[in-house]
Structure 1
């Protein structure tokens, strides 16, 4: 197997066309998105977009466990905590977020069918990659989440765009709790388009190779995916988000973050998925919860490009403010699971400190 972080190949298709395949290839880290991966993907996607012989692009992850389990936050931690040298004066974190969001936007606006096979973990930065695809496929193994509040960050990678487009206030709930969703949830919330069994992946590729990527390339892809989805219905789980929609609406019905968090804390039901979500809120960074609340409401009417512009500003600030570094330390570096958050409670969060994240430089 190649050691390259992203493996590229081109599959022969009907009519002299080809399908460009990109496979994230760091399975030991659950294909965590690194700066190296980003710098491999962006130019190749540009090349395929300009090549008339490429009829469609397919993105997947190596192995059966993950498309991508998030950004390489351990590398970001090193950048946040190691002393700067003259040869390393520029922040690698700034570069990472800038280039990551450019890649996400590139996928959102891609001029050809962009199929994402979202099997296994699709977390954080992985969801940023999948959300922009024109044809987003999930499987019986898919697990989707935006758990950034637990590491002192906030839902980014375009989350201000896609969380606001979810039914009701489910996007707000998922951003504040980091709750994991299955493939059926991803379809219900608008994060995915098709549910297909994972063991059909190679058959789907073969069927696409026999498709005509002419003037109706998007329709040709949809026709193939629709056929395989029809044969996968028995494997599709129940959507827990759909099942608990009314409860989620009630829990998030508040005029302030404090009201919503109080509602969550008073949940007295017995559903294990909701209980776990409530426990996550209790341990999350109060500053991150506040950032998430404000960003969600600030981007309600924004365009996609406006959302990414705002998120780049917030994320660059996050590299310098200490909360993100502390969250990563507690979860992944020292693994003591005892983060010392900047503000111990929501009541103690300083609004002026939060405002600094949103200020234009």
Structure 2
């Protein structure tokens, strides 16, 4: 009998209260988020939200390597071998994913996400939406979509804008990895708790007085929090440099400044290398989406992201990027443009062109 894609358990608490636990259960793929996982998780979250016996919800990933390494882009690639099928699958997949992300942000019960290990792409969308976002000393967060020809989605057009000026741009352009301290400082996490305390935290929640669940959850997490286990912030160490490179008028200038930087810090050097080999059109989409959603709502950002993600599935670079990184693994993508400076404005506008009238948008009801 095959293992379920998401394991659901209901943990008994005091006085008959229960804690719903959902565990992404695809450790071989680092819990990459498939459409089936999205759909089954959404359905159970809806049921738990309506169940008066469920006091709080816990979301984590199987294994000790990753919470969730991102969306199932391999399935997306397979669909994209046929242009029409690819666009249809992309619409179904991204609509379900962004609807789930929005539900997490709006969830009416305490929801704890344990973001241990790798948290990338779609995994960061899940973590960002939780009411209590926990990272550990081993957490590694990133939005590395520039390496595959997509762009930071799952609400990143919105939450990158809530970071210090220019930092969201830098993260989107370079796919820079963040550690637990970075996540705390940039508003992507609320708590840092050592990885080996996960089951102990759950046991403490079961023993807590859940008559006032939000208070009980906050008290238990505070008791286990150990911020001294988080490594030093990479972003804070280079904050002035990162802002000087990205607080400029256009994306071509920002990219030029980042690539011209000669600091030999390993983190900065790896980020430069990722940008240098990344998709030129992605850099423009990073810049455009953060500009468009500097002052919009999360719902507006997700609607715009759905349009753009389906457009990406209709263009060649996304399939080529996934092929090079994950299918053939030659790491030699042949992008549609030579570099960021050579991307014509009309090509960017083609990606941003609306696919649906506003009233027919699949996420118009958010």
TM-score by length of 1: 0.96
Choose the corresponding residue for 2:160, options 159, 163, 168: 163
Show the counterpart of 2:364.
Answer: none
Show the counterpart of 1:140.
Answer: 137
Output one character per residue of 1:123-167: Cα deviation in whole Å (capped at 9) or x when no partner.
000001100000000001100000001100000000011100012
Show the counterpart of 1:80.
Answer: 80
How far apart are residue 207 of structure 1 and its match?
0.8
Alignment of 1:164-183 (within 5 A): 164-183=161-180
Show the counterpart of 2:197.
Answer: 200
Asked if residue 228 in structure 1 is aligned to residue 209 in structure 2, the reply is: no
SS at match of 1:57: strand
Alignment of 1:301-320 (within 5 A): 301-320=295-314
SS at match of 2:342: coil
How far apart are residue 68 of structure 1 and its match?
0.3
Show the counterpart of 1:270.
Answer: 264
- Whole-angstrom distance in 2 between the partners of 1:89 and 1:339: 19
How far apart are residue 309 of structure 1 and its match?
0.3
How far apart are residue 265 of structure 1 and its match?
1.6
CA contact (8 A) 2:11 2:19 kept: yes
How far apart are residue 83 of structure 1 and its match?
7.2
How far apart are residue 173 of structure 1 and its match?
0.8
- CA distance 1:89–1:270, change in 2 (3 Å): closer
Show the counterpart of 1:359.
Answer: 353
CA contact (8 A) 2:4 2:25 kept: yes
- Whole-angstrom distance in 2 between the partners of 1:284 and 1:45: 36
Alignment of 1:270-349 (within 5 A): 270-349=264-343
- Whole-angstrom distance in 1 between the partners of 2:190 and 2:91: 32
Output one character per residue of 1:62-92: Cα deviation in whole Å (capped at 9) or x when no partner.
00000000011100000001476xxx79822
CA contact (8 A) 2:7 2:25 kept: yes
SS at match of 2:20: strand
- CA distance 1:7–1:80, change in 2 (3 Å): same
Aligned length: 355
How far apart are residue 253 of structure 1 and its match?
2.3
- Whole-angstrom distance in 2 between the partners of 1:167 and 1:195: 21
SS at match of 1:91: helix
SS at match of 2:224: helix
How far apart are residue 280 of structure 1 and its match?
1.1
Choose the corresponding residue for 1:101, options 82, 87, 98: 98
- Root-mean-square deviation (Å): 1.4
SS at match of 2:241: helix
How far apart are residue 325 of structure 1 and its match?
0.5
- Whole-angstrom distance in 2 between the partners of 1:8 and 1:29: 19
SS at match of 1:164: helix
CA contact (8 A) 2:79 2:86 kept: no
- Whole-angstrom distance in 2 between the partners of 1:123 and 1:129: 10
TM-score by length of 2: 0.94
